[in-house]
Amino acid sequence: MKMKLVCIMALACSAAFAQTGDAARGKAVFEGKGQCFTCHRINGNGSRTGPDLTDIGNLRKQEQLEKSILDPDAEIDRQNRTYRVVTSTGETISGRLLNMDAFSIQLLDSKERLRSFTKSNLKEWAFVEKSPMPSFKDKLNAQELADVVSYLVSLKGIEERIAP
Amino acid sequence: MKPLLLFSLAATLSAQVSFDRIINANKEPQNWLTYSGTVLGQRHSLLGQITPENVKNLEQQWAWQARSLEKFEATPLVVDGVLYTVQAPNDVVALDAATGRPFWTFNYTPSRDARVCCGRVNRGLAILGDTLFMGTIDAHLLAIDARTGRLLWNTQVAKAADGYSITLAPLVVKDKVIIGTAGGDFEVRCFLAAYDARTGKEAWRFNTVAGPDDPRSTSWTGDSWKKGGAAVWVTGSYDSDTNLTYWGTGNPGPDWNGEVRAGDNLYTNSVVALDADTGKLKWHFQFSPHDEFDYDSTQVPVLADMEWQGRPRKLMLWANRNGFMYVLDRNSGQFLLGKPFVKVTWAAGLDDSGRPVRPPGSFPTPQGNRLFPAMLGGTNWYSPSYSPKTGFFYIPSNDNTSALFSREGFPRNVAPIGLGAATLQQNVRTEDEGYGAIRAYDPRTGQRKWEFKMSDLTMGGILTTTTNVLFSGGREGYFFALDARDGKLLWKVPLGGQVSSGPMSYSINGRQYVVVAAGNALVSFALRQ
């Protein structure tokens, strides 16, 4: 109650703060309705094309996570930028930039294939300004958003597995 | 009897590297007798077998793998078919320059007191007669028999426990070996010193921080001079006409907190011109007074004679870590020209005397202040080159930025890059975030003639040849050849390791070789036969 009052007074309160999230429900939304594994990876499950979120709870605050879900273009980490090349034959390939030098470019493409290109065989190469992630502003309600954020905050790294 | 005498004389002559041979090194381009090839610091070879037309036919001849994981920063010497280099930190090896096979290895274990800011590295050797000279990271100067690898003498130059070290290749002038001390980031007062090549006895010393015994001590407040730094860690040059030797000095200490050392802090970030016999100061020019950016002026002084505004003039070309390129009169130290060769924001320009004009707010702050060039500099110790053939001055350049923080106690600097390593580093930056380049300038005008861009930064030096071939490399691990006239790429080879030194060239039996260190290996190339 006190929290809600402070939020209203500050007029800067996030939706996630206003709702109490449940990490277990958030996990279900993440893996189901949200289809987040299409791009993201957690503890070895999901796609490698987007940022691995296994320890995102150590790296991002609750407010930052919510902002990224509602407005993915607002802040894109350098290492998470999408890179796009266009070959001399007109083929466009996007993915995660792994390395670049004066003569060549190495990517993990959107199908998780390691690709290497020589610049002399490319027409264009550049980072993509926008995030490939869609906004979930109109796809999740406030409770679902709070649940997903709570789930992400709970992700603190790879689970230790001790051999018996 | 007579033929035997002639044979004996010839063998002696070929083995002995007299000082006359050193100052006339351009008369024997088959050899590489000093760190930069000649005492002029031009890193320019008069060998002409490799040309822009045939450089594409270069192929590897041999590789020598150092038993060291440190950066390979040494430039080898080659004397009459024998290549001498340093396996970091301080082992010396003699190789057959045609095959890379070793003749001998001299092993040296530095004191455990040795500490260095930026890697346990060494940049090379000097030679006089049959003796090789090497500075060590525990601040000793060693003399080694070039035929056997046997230690001849070992002189302690300074105490490693105090923070001193030696990483540069010494310079021989007449019968003396000149070295400078590193350690400017460890609260010491550095110096240049000359040693008798035969005995190892100190002949003179020049303190690169002006203390109470120097009229310019007023450029320091209080006792700040005692920890003033001004390290010397890149080899100087020598003009035999004037007997002046030129050396660049490093940053003042503490690096980024200038408040405790108000004043210009002479002779930090300067070039000093010393009488080679006495070590007496003839003139100095300070590039970055009261430096708060770690903009060492430890670059190779490049000496060039050319027409300057209608008359012949003896010049010094200097590409500085602070992002400006300078032309000085090397007889007087007079400032003639200075222009930025990379983006510069710490200074708005240079005044008529060459002193930087500082815009408001261009200093480190507790919150961090983003300035150009980055702490790593517009360039650094990487050898530039001057080609008398093209008349161009070639600079390994980095267009880059970093945020500078001032803190109480030891200051912190945050740069988007590290100081580099022998292994390749992946690069995911775009050009607007920083890149390396080879840039060619006309020193008469300061006008850029061309550039060759790399995606990553560069830490490689430059070699030019009389046939207009330019060799260099960088952090990307390529070794490449450009046309020195227009910067066009002629040839490249990925070597799998960072190029952290300057290429050099020599010939054996008329066959020209080009050698470069990449990663932990030395690699030799020559034209396909």
SS3 labels along B318-336: EECCCCEEEEEECCCCCEE
Single-letter amino acid, residue B32: W
From CA B451, how far away is CA B439, in angstroms rounded? 4
Residues of A in contact with B456 (CB under 8 A): 100-102
Structure tokens given for A110? 């959107």
Q: What is the largest CA-CA distance in chain A?
A: 62
Facing B430 at nearest CB: one of A79, A103, A127: A127
pLDDT recorded at residue B204: 98
* Chain B residues with CB-CB distance to A51 below 8 A: none
Q: Residue B453 and residue A102: Cβ atoms within 8 Å?
A: yes
| DSSP string for B210-260 | --TTSGGGGGS-TTGGGG-B----S--EEETTTTEEEEE---BSSSS-GGG
> Would you call the peptide bond into B416 cis, given omega within 30 degrees of 0 as the criterion?
no
| Nearest-angstrom CA–CA distance, A65 and B229 | 47
Residue type, B84: Y
Half-sphere exposure of B345 (CA within 13 A, CB side): 18
Could you give the angle at which helices A62-70 and A142-153 cross, rounded to 10 degrees?
130
The SS3 assignment for B200 reads: coil
Q: Is the pLDDT of residue B438 over 90?
A: yes
Task: Determine, for residues A99 and B428 on separate chains, whether the beta-carbon distance falls below 8 Å.
Answer: yes
Cβ-nearest to A100 among B428, B478, B492: B428
Q: Are B364 and B375 in contact (CB under 8 A)?
A: no
Best interface-test mutation with A: which of B417, B423, B430, B458 has the largest number of A CBs within 10 A?
B430
pLDDT at residue A159, rounded to an integer: 59
Task: Indicate if ipTM > 0.95.
Answer: no
Best of A79, A101, A129 to disrupt the B interface by mutation (most B CBs within 10 Å)? A101
Above 50 in pLDDT, residue B332?
Answer: yes
d(CA B355, CA B297): 14
Give chain A positions within 8 Å (CB) of B453.
102
| Interval B153-200: pLDDT, tens | 999 999 999 999 999 999 999 999 999 999 988 889 999 999 999 999
Going from the first residue of chain A to its last (164 residues), give the mean pLDDT of each consecutive group of 10, the final group possibly shorter.
36 52 95 94 91 93 94 88 95 93 92 93 94 93 95 84 54
Which has more confidence, B16 or B132?
Answer: B132
Chain B residues lying within 8 Å of A99, measured CB to CB: 426-428
Looking at per-residue confidence, does B515 or B405 come out higher?
B515
Measured in angstroms, the CA of B43 and the nearest CA of chain A are apart by 24
Q: Which residues of B touch A129 (CB under 8 A)?
A: none
Residue B65: both structure tokens together: 């793998």
Domains in chain B, please, with CATH?
Answer: 32-527 (2.140.10.10)
In which band, very low, low, confident or very high, does the pLDDT at B324 lie, cut at 50, 70 and 90? very high
* B454–chain A nearest CA distance, Å: 5
Residue B375 pLDDT class (50, 70, 90 cuts): confident
Name the percent of chain B lying above pLDDT 70: 94
The per-type count for chain A, helices as H runs and strands as E runs, is 6, 7
Residue contact A102–B427, C-beta within 8 A: no
Q: Tell me the shortest Cα–Cα distance from A17 to chain B, in angstroms.
A: 30
Per-residue pLDDT at B422: 62
Q: Taking 70 as the threshold, does the pLDDT of residue B45 lie above it?
A: yes
Closest residue in A to B492 (Cα–Cα): A103
**Are B120 and B137 a contacting pair, CB within 8 Å?**
yes
- Between B338 and B413, the higher pLDDT residue: B338
pLDDT at A20: 87
Q: Which residues of B195-213 are buried (b: 16+ CB within 10 A; e: fewer)?
A: bebeebeebbebbbbbeee
Cβ neighbours of residue B356 closer than 8 Å, sequence gap 6 or more: B287, B288, B289, B322, B324, B346, B347, B349, B350
Tokens of B192: 């240049």
Q: What pLDDT does residue B408 have?
A: 55
Average pLDDT taken over every residue of chain B: 92
Q: Which amino acid is at A114?
A: L
Q: Is the pTM of this model over 0.90?
A: no
- Closest Cα of chain B to A162: distance in Å? 33
Per-residue pLDDT averaged across B382-389, rounded?
Answer: 98
CB < 8 Å to A100, chain B = 427-429, 455-456
- Closest by CA position to B300, among listed B180, B375, B380, B244: B380
The residue whose two tokens read 């509602």 is A70
- Decide if A101 and B428 are in contact by the 8 Å CB cutoff: no
- CB atoms inside a 10 Å sphere around CB B505: 28
Q: Which of A77, A78, A96, A99 to mutate to test the interface with B (most CBs of B within 10 A)?
A: A99
CB A117 within 8 A of CB A107: yes
Q: How far is A106 from chain B (nearest CA, A)?
A: 10
Report the pLDDT value the prediction gives residue B413, as an integer from 0 to 100. 42
**Residue B294 designated active-site:** yes
- Any residues with CB less than 8 A from the CB of B528 and at least 6 apart, and which? B57, B58, B59
Beta bridge partners of B311: B308
- Closest-CA residue to B146 (of B75, B73, B78): B78
Q: Which residue of A has its CA nearest to B452?
A: A102
Residue B407: predicted pLDDT:
62
C-alpha–C-alpha distance, residues B437 and B453, integer Å: 4
At residue B280 the predicted structure's pLDDT band, cuts being 50, 70 and 90, is very high
Do B145 and B119 contact (CB within 8 A), yes or no? Answer: no
Question: Is the N-terminal amide bond of B301 cis, ω within 30° of 0?
Answer: no
> Is pLDDT at B402 greater than 90 in this prediction?
no
CB contact under 8 A, B455 and A102: yes
Contact criterion met (CB below 8 Å) for B436 and B474: yes
Alpha-carbon distance B427 to nearest alpha carbon in chain A (angstroms): 5
pLDDT of residue A161: 52
Tokens of B363: 């200093």
Which of A98, A101, A127 lies at the smallest CB-CB distance from B455?
A101
Please answer yes or no on whether B478 and A103 come within 8 Å at the CB atom. Answer: yes
Instruction: Give the model's confidence band at B443: pLDDT under 50 very low, under 70 low, under 90 confident, else very high.
Output: very high
B142, with CB counted inside 10 A (0-12, 13-18, 19+), is buried
Amino acid residing at B520: N
Q: Give the CA count within 13 Å in the CB-facing half-sphere of B468.
A: 13
- For the ranges A78-87, B36-45, B73-82, B211-220, the lowest mean pLDDT is seen at A78-87
Nearest-angstrom CA–CA distance, B344 and B158: 36
Query: Which residue is catalytic, options B91, B255, B294, B399?
Result: B294
Q: Pairing state of beta strands A45-46 and B281-286?
A: unpaired
Residue type, A33: K
Reported confidence tier of residue B434, pLDDT bands at 50, 70, 90: confident
Please answer yes or no on whether B428 and A79 come within 8 Å at the CB atom: yes
For residue A79, which residues of chain B lie inside 8 Å, CB to CB? 428
Q: What is the pLDDT of residue B57?
A: 98
Which residue shows structure tokens 């000085």?
A: B328
Chain A: give the shortest CA distance to residue B487, in Å: 14
Q: How many Cα atoms occupy the beta-carbon half-sphere of A12 within 13 Å?
A: 2
Chain A contact residues (CB < 8 Å to B): 78-79, 97-103, 126-127
Confidence of residue B8 (pLDDT cuts 50, 70, 90): very low
Residue ranges of chain B whose CB lies within 8 Å of a chain A CB: 426-430, 453-456, 474, 476-478, 492
Query: How many helices (H) and strands (E) are present in chain B, helices listed first?
Result: 2, 38
Which residues in chain A touch residue B454, judged by CB atoms under 8 angstroms apart? 101-102
Segment B223-275, tens digit of pLDDT: 999 999 999 999 999 999 999 999 999 999 888 888 889 999 999 999 999 99
Listed in sequence order, the residues at least 6 apart from B326 whose beta carbon sits closer than 8 Å to its beta carbon are B285, B287, B316, B317, B318, B319, B320, B335, B337, B338, B354
Instruction: List the one residue out of B292, B355, B294, B305 whose CA is nearest residue B331.
Output: B305
Average pLDDT over residues B46-56: 98
Closest CA to B287 of B274, B275, B300, B298: B298
Q: What is the distance between the alpha carbons of residues A109 and B140, in angstroms, rounded to a whole number?
A: 53
Cα–Cα distance measured from residue B101 to residue B524, given in angstroms and rounded to the nearest whole number: 12
Q: Which of A18-32, A86-100, B118-132, B300-314 has the lowest mean pLDDT?
A: A18-32
- What's the rounded mean pLDDT across residues B409-418? 40
* Nearest residue to A19 (alpha-carbon basis) of A134, A155, A150: A150
